[in-house]
Amino acid sequence: MSDRLKTFRKLMSSFEGSSNPQRAIEKGFYIDLPNNPVGEIARRVELRPSSVHLLLGGIGSGKTTQLLLATERLNTLEDIKAIYVDITLYTDISDLQPGALIAIAALELLKLLDEEKITYPERYRKTINDIALGYTETREVLSLEQMIAQRSIRMTINAPRTEVIQHKGLLERKTENGSNDLTRTFFKIGEKVRETLGKKITFFFDGLDRLSNSQIFINSALKDAIEMKKFGFGSALVGSVITAYKERETIESFAGELYYIPYLDVEEHDEASKFFTNILAKRDTDNFITESTRALLISNSGGVLRDLMSLAQSAIEEAYFDGSENIDLVHVEKAVWSLTRSKVAGLTKEGLETIKQVLAGKNFFPQTPEDLELLVGGYILEYRFPFRRFAVHPVIAKYISTQITVSVVSG
């Protein structure tokens, strides 16, 4: 293997943190966010381990990293056990059922008991597995002869027939209700963990920011968290930006703590721009990415951490294919075009018209489902520091302005 290949592989690996935030933390790549909420979340949980917290924001804004860091910090305390859970690894969140989070929490507690080699009644596992994952039941079905025989009519009776019934679980598409057994068993398992370990338990539920149905989030996820609180278990839930708008009254009356992580305004906020510069410097210690190239990466990211990582990796690939020893402006331009294509592919005609109006100076405030989809998809970005504003993602803005210019020239 050539030295050049080794160098580029190492550089590519340094920018994989967005797909695996835990690995980025372990490698020492983490840098504190401006207006970082992780400290506040951890401090509040330290005081009230059974409290409930909502962490809302756009996809790629750094919420997962914040949860992981809060989990890590809390687990340094001798009387708290924080458990990080990615809900998407357990179930289809678009069909999240009431009780699903409690079932997942119970499965995580069973896993913890197994890891600690703590014995517990096997019926706990069976009850949770049956409710969460479903079970198969085989039972006899009375034939006509058997039914007649039960009425004391003598005749030859054939062998009984059996049928197999599949009962679906909460983490599938549940049609039956096992909520009472679920909460009782969850509480028993939780008590076993708390008594044995001598620790208070809090859960950090991730992955729900991809749930576009805010009603499901409120009626399933949030209600489960509140139910768990009744039994003395705390939780923090990541939620979609849609929830902040469609369920504003509900979350404002929510008896817990609410945090919002916006995208970072690298155009108007010097601290945000410096934060992104430090991220690139931390991961590219040999300065293969030139200073001017870093500035172009940052401006085209729109302050979206995930897009910065994606652009950097794509630019590194382009430089390698090009035979270059450094990542230059031309490589970033190609990376920008690649990101633009992926974003534009999901843009509707109505969304495109709205974006054009915003670029023309029209005020934007998300109200319609189409407006909210533009926020969720990252086509329009919301910033809250140093002041609140909405802006079209820079790669989309550049694409549309190019199309308009071409149209004018052709006309």
For residue range 80-122, list pLDDT tens digits in order: 999 999 999 999 999 999 999 999 999 999 999 999 999 999 9
Percentage with pLDDT > 90 across the chain: 65
Query: Predicted confidence band at 265 (pLDDT cuts at 50, 70, 90)?
Result: very high
CA dist list (Å): 24 to 34, 67, 309, 328, 360: 18, 14, 12, 24, 39
Pairing of strands 389-392, 380-383: antiparallel
Least confident of 208-217, 245-254, 311-320: 245-254
CB 204 within 8 A of CB 83: yes
User: Phi and psi (nearest 5°) for 81?
Assistant: -120, 115
Longest dimension (CA), the chain: 96
Tell me the β-bridge partners of 139: 163
Element (DSSP H or E) covering residue 53: strand 52-57
**Count of other CB atoms within 10 angstroms of residue 82:** 24
Question: For position 298, what pLDDT does the model report?
Answer: 98
Tell me the β-bridge partners of 203: 83, 235
Who has greater pLDDT, 60 or 151? 60
Percentage with pLDDT > 70 across the chain: 87
pTM score, whole prediction: 0.84
Single-letter residue type at 363: N
Query: Three-state secondary structure along 130-177?
Result: HHHHCEEEEEEECCHHHHHHCCCCCCCCCCCEEEEEEECCCCCCCCCC
Distance, CA of 154 to CA of 152 (rounded, Å): 6
